Amino acid sequence: MYEAKTDLYAPGVTRKIFADEKTPTQSLTLGYGMFEAGAKTGLHSHDTEEAFFIVHGYGAVRDAEGNEYKAELGTVLYVPANFVHEFKNVSDAPLIFFYVHPKAKITSRRF
C-alpha cells in the first residue's frame, strides 16, 4: 500500500499526493491541497491539463494577463496544459481542494 506524501509547495501551501509516478497508477496525479489565508502558488504552468474541485473556502486563479477566475465551494476549475496561472486563497479561512493531472509524471515551470 502507498502512503500519501505531504509536502510544502509554497509558503502556506500544503499538498498531499495520493497518486503519481511513484504509485502503481501510471496514468494520473491525484492530490489534495490546503492554502492558508492569503497563500498563493505564484505564476507557474504544467505540461499537462489540470482540474481542481474546491471542497472548502474561497480562492481565485489568476492568469498571466491578470484575469481572475473564482474558486469557491463546489467549483470545478479546468486549467489547460502550459497555461500560466497562479492559484491563491483570497479569504481568511483555509482553502481546500482536490486536483488531478492526466499523467503520473508532470513537469512544472515557475515564472
Q: Is 69 exposed, middle or buried (0-12, 13-18, 19+ CB in 10 A)?
A: middle
In tens, the pLDDT along 78-95 reads 999 999 999 999 999 999
Produce one character per residue of 26-55: b if its CB has 16 or more CB atoms within 10 Å, e if not.
Answer: eebbbbbbbbeeebbbeebbbebbbebebe
What is the share, in percent, of the chain residues with pLDDT greater than 90?
A: 68
Instruction: Report pTM.
Output: 0.84
In tens, the pLDDT along 19-32 reads 888 888 878 899 99
**Alpha carbon distance 36, 96 (integer Å):** 9
Q: What is the pLDDT of residue 1?
A: 45
Lowest mean pLDDT of 10-14, 31-35, 55-59, name the range: 10-14
